[in-house]
Chain A
Amino acid sequence: MILLENIHKSFGALVVLKGISGRIPRGEVLAIVGPSGSGKSTLLRSINLLETPTSGKVFVDNVCINDKGVDIRKLRTKVGMVFQQFNLFPHMTTLENVIYAPLRVKKIKRKDAETLGKKLLEKVGLKDKAKTYPAHLSGGQKQRAAIARALAMEPEVILFDEPTSSLDPEMVKEVLDVIKSLAHTGITMVIVSHEMGFAREIADRIWFLDEGRLIEDSMSKTFFKAPKTKRAQSFLEKVL
């Protein structure tokens, strides 16, 4: 379970998050939506401390992770992340990308890591790309490899930061299908996305952010049928 308590974040004079609180139960699929610049990505990145909140508390499994003296690395092995720009390691093959962290952090045997890596690549439909370098993969393949890499650490939570925003339109579906296949398998998923149709289809719960505030926290069905706030109503009218 993830618990956010009054999260504020500023970059210099720019205030991005203005006191966000919320709760994400274990195994739930949450989509964070809202207009550009509303702080969605910053909020997501606070959950694994790629951004440190200026104030407020982030709890993962009842541990306040932005307390001093907390082992951030240990937390991060439990919280995987998939980036908009994939961020695969270009000097490693697809398989090496996937098994690097289990080898380095969990220190499992190479043979076991390769078995795990191949299984995950099969899961995301990249079985035949194990020895390919990222430069020779399409955008959709890169993102699927990046998902396999995040899964290799067997995280309890996966954060998706606009996972389809830099993809060509015809590659969006293959990535969304992979993400869909992970939903409701016990893993908690937090997705920042502009794909409203996808959010509607996959998410249990929607957080609607506007100007750094969480102004609506609804179950997905309620949100898309009858948003409570005017701001969300007009947003949905524009994007749906």
Chain B
Amino acid sequence: MIDPRGGRPVLRETYGTPVPAGREPANLGDILERVLDRGVVIAGDIRVNLLDIELLTIKLRLLVASVDTAREMGIDWWEHDSWLTGKNHELIDENRRLRERLAAVEEVLALNRPADAKGDTAEQRPSGRQERARGGRDRD
């Protein structure tokens, strides 16, 4: 039968789409999925560490052409939100709590200054909107 131990694995193939004999599985997607997502995670020891957040960015890059637009418009919160990576549940919860409180505070502020909030709309200053989007993100 098949013996994968013998030097080079015999069965290095994807059923249905046979890969030409070689040590490289042809599917770059599979490789990326593995080298980006898995393997030992030694955060904290790493000087240049692309943690989950960055990996997420890459994944989005890879998979989601449609989101580029949103990002260009300044909507890219998911790239930076560590809770989206689902790694640290305490952090997630804490972040969510903070976020909720922040939102509540902002709501109160906005209620207190309705005229102010309206003055800076997109029609008048397109770039102003960008600035605000940016500012909002920075507070995160």
Q: Is B a genuine binding partner of A?
A: no
Residues of A within 8 A of B (CB): none
